[in-house]
Amino acid sequence: MLSRFPLCFFVALLLLQTLHSPTGHTERAVASNFSVNGPRLDEILFVFHATPEAAVAAIRKGDIDILSDIFRPSDVRAISEDPNLNITFSQQTHYCYVAFNTRNPPLDDKQLREAIAHLVPRQEIANQLFDGITVTPMLYETSPAFGKWHNPDVKVYPFGPSSARQVLSSAGYSWSQDGKILRPDGKPVGKITFLSPTQEEAPTSYEIAKLVVEEMKRIGFEAYQEGVAFDSLLTRVMTERRFDMYFLCVSNLGRFPRWLYDYYHSNLDLPDGENTPGVRDPELDQLLYKFRFESETEDEAKTAIWKAQEKIADLTARTPVYSRYEIEAFRKGWTGMIQHKGIGYFTSGAFWTYLNLHKSGTTGGGTVKVDVGGRVRTLNPLYGTGAYEQKMISLIYDSLLAADPETGDPLPYLAESWTIKDTQIGGSKGQKITFNLVHNASWQDGEPFTSNDVKFTIEYCRKNKIPLFLPILERVLEVSSPNPYTVEVTVNGTSLFNLIDIGGTIIIPEHIWKDVTDWRTFQPDRELHPTKPGLTKMVGTGPYILSEEKPGEYWRLKSNPDYFRRYSETRQEAERPQQQTSLYSNLIAVVATATVTSAAGYMILRRRRTKHQS
């Protein structure tokens, strides 16, 4: 009979656990170190500065509160010494690399490339050219900034001329009497040209190429540097493939290493494709394809991309040199900033910061002035690709899902939950993703947000073949809205990125965009709203409303008073029932446990008594 006691206890615990467990992703986000409700600011004033000198002077003088993309060591030092400012360093998904043309001799030989990879003086570059402050030497193409997607166990090529010599010797290379490297067949390796931008155009890149060429010459390579205009470099590398080696940087690689597909899949070894080194490896192709299009689970995707990284490191078609930190400064007295992995605190993509940011010691309010250091030429949400354009657009428009700042995992946003069901489309596999939308979201002009808007957005982008969304939405086969708060999207393939891509697409209002005849020239921020005075046609569901702009000068975003995730004291009150629910849950659980335990105890005692009596 005693065996029933643990069973009752287990049932009680189960009951307790059930009542206490998170019921949705929202609670999971709340449980983290940031709030999903906002904004806490009254407004954001984005202010343009054309040069770093002006931007640094502005923040030190007190004209602005936040400055991103600081890259000059002298500025970092000056800001660090300023008692009114804080400075942050975040590893970002950026890297600079040396690429090899693997199509032609002598760089078609992997060992030769490996040897040269050992001749990149990464630490010296970081110390000499960046004062050891603004960049970190990098041995991995997929840097640790990618979190769980970064494979730390790949082959690396640290700087070491002796290692380079060893690699060459073991591959059969030898040295002539005058110190030149000879191929295994005894012939000279030949001339290798390192293409770089000109000294006037990009002095750092030029110096890096120079340092590598010097190291190559030192061990016997016949290496030369050729400085060409940046445009010519791009044409020679991207279109004509007329190069031996070149140096280039790439930033904003995204949260997932999907760019590896573009960089190394043989399908992209064509004019203007990113596979500039000309890698053609069927095994790697398979892994990259699996990662990008066929992985149904995160584990599958991770396994594929980790293996792909090993293969890529082994091929040495590119060798990483350094990765730049995202260095940002903010005035002391602000709090609530969230570090977004691979992005930083305030720069484009740091969505949660602008929801949580507020003055220390207050619950909210106030204006934060943020530097705009790049172009803002259009705020058309279907066309603006500039980092600062994207930053403003993402604060005005929402998407169905948001991204966890730490892991990049999807979080509910306009969609409060979703389900994914595998389906058969013709002979191939597909997915039916059902998004359940929030009921309380509305457009900034007061119109309700419904599933028709989502359906319209997807269909509008597909119909107009909008370049930004083309690769994402061409996988969509069908979209339907069975009721105002449900959207069903049928997609080709079973990739886990289907959800992330479709969920990440910003949603535009049907009632504004249905009358737009030419989406390309439509500038919603410059056309007045037909019915709401004080508003433009730049109407989203997002936390901020574009209230004023003077192009080339400033953009004023005020907080959306009707935001569906509005942060306010009242809202906090409104949220308490959720917390109270959890208190109630605990209470109920305790009562339930006590009841069940008492009942069980009573039954046991009664039976014992009965047994004893009998």
Partner 1 sequence: MGFRAYASRRITNTIIILLVTITLQFFIFRVMPGNPIGHFITPNLPLEARQALVRMWGLDRPLHEQFLTYLYNLFSGKLGISFVSQRYVSDEIMERLPNTILLMGSATILTIALGINLGVSAGSRRGSKRDVASVTFGLLTEGLPVFFLGLLLLLTFAYYLPIATGGLINFPVAGTVSRPPPTSLLNYLLDVLWHLTLPMITLVTTGFGGYALIVRNLMIDVLTQDYILTARAKGLDSRSILYRHGLRSVLPPITTMIGLSLSGIVGGAVITETIFSWHGIGRYLYEAILQSDYPVMQGTFFLLSLVTILANLVVDLIYGLMDPRIRY
In the complex, the residues that contact partner 1 under the rule CB under 8 A are 45, 47-51, 53-54, 57-58, 60-61, 63, 229, 231-232, 234-235, 238-239, 250, 252-254, 258-259, 262-263, 268, 270, 272-274, 369, 375, 377-378, 380, 383, 385, 465, 467-468, 470-471, 474, 520-521, 523, 548, 550-554, 556
Taking the least distance from each CB to partner 1, the nearer of 520 and 606 is 520
Taking the least distance from each CB to partner 1, the nearer of 385 and 419 is 385
Taking the least distance from each CB to partner 1, the nearer of 161 and 504 is 504
To which H or E segment does residue 128 belong?
Answer: helix 122-130
- List the Cα angle 273/279/282 in 5-degree steps: 110
Taking the least distance from each CB to partner 1, the nearer of 48 and 449 is 48
Q: How far is the CB of 321 from partner 1 (least distance, A)?
A: 17
Q: How far is the CB of 97 from partner 1 (least distance, A)?
A: 13
Q: Distance of CA 451 to CAs 393, 394, 448, Å?
A: 21, 20, 10
Asked if the bond preceding 524 is cis, omega within 30° of 0, the reply is: no
Question: Which amino acid, residue 191?
Answer: K
Q: Are 315 and 57 in contact (CB under 8 A)?
A: no
Q: How far is the CB of 273 from partner 1 (least distance, A)?
A: 5
Taking the least distance from each CB to partner 1, the nearer of 312 and 589 is 312
Question: Which amino acid, residue 501?
Answer: D
For residue 587, the Cα-to-chain-centroid distance in whole angstroms is: 41
For residue 585, the Cα-to-chain-centroid distance in whole angstroms is: 37
Q: How far is the CB of 522 from partner 1 (least distance, A)?
A: 8
Taking the least distance from each CB to partner 1, the nearer of 375 and 432 is 375
Integer Cα distance of 554 and 48 in angstroms:
6
Taking the least distance from each CB to partner 1, the nearer of 4 and 520 is 520
To which H or E segment does residue 559 belong?
Answer: strand 554-559
Taking the least distance from each CB to partner 1, the nearer of 263 and 334 is 263
DSSP of 356-423: H-EETTSSS--EEEEEE-S------TTT--SHHHHHHHHHHS-BSEEE-TTT--EEESSEEEEEEEEE
Q: How far is the CB of 430 from partner 1 (least distance, A)?
A: 20
Q: How far is the CB of 104 from partner 1 (least distance, A)?
A: 22
Q: How far is the CB of 347 from partner 1 (least distance, A)?
A: 14
Taking the least distance from each CB to partner 1, the nearer of 32 and 547 is 547
DSSP of 567-600: -SHHHHHHHHHHHHHHHHHHHHHHHHHHHHHHHH
Residue 381: is it exposed, middle or buried by C-beta count within 10 angstroms (0-12/13-18/19+)?
Answer: buried
Q: How far is the CB of 486 from partner 1 (least distance, A)?
A: 30
Number of Cβ atoms within 10 Å of the Cβ of 483: 10
Across 580-595, b (16+ Cβ under 10 Å) vs e yields eeeeebeeebeeebee
Tell me which residue of 464, 535, 540, 532 sits closest to 509, measured CA to CA: 540
Question: Which amino acid, residue 384?
Answer: G
Q: How far is the CB of 50 from partner 1 (least distance, A)?
A: 4
Tell me which residue of 379, 372, 380 sits closest to 45, measured CA to CA: 372
Taking the least distance from each CB to partner 1, the nearer of 119 and 304 is 304
Q: How far is the CB of 476 from partner 1 (least distance, A)?
A: 15
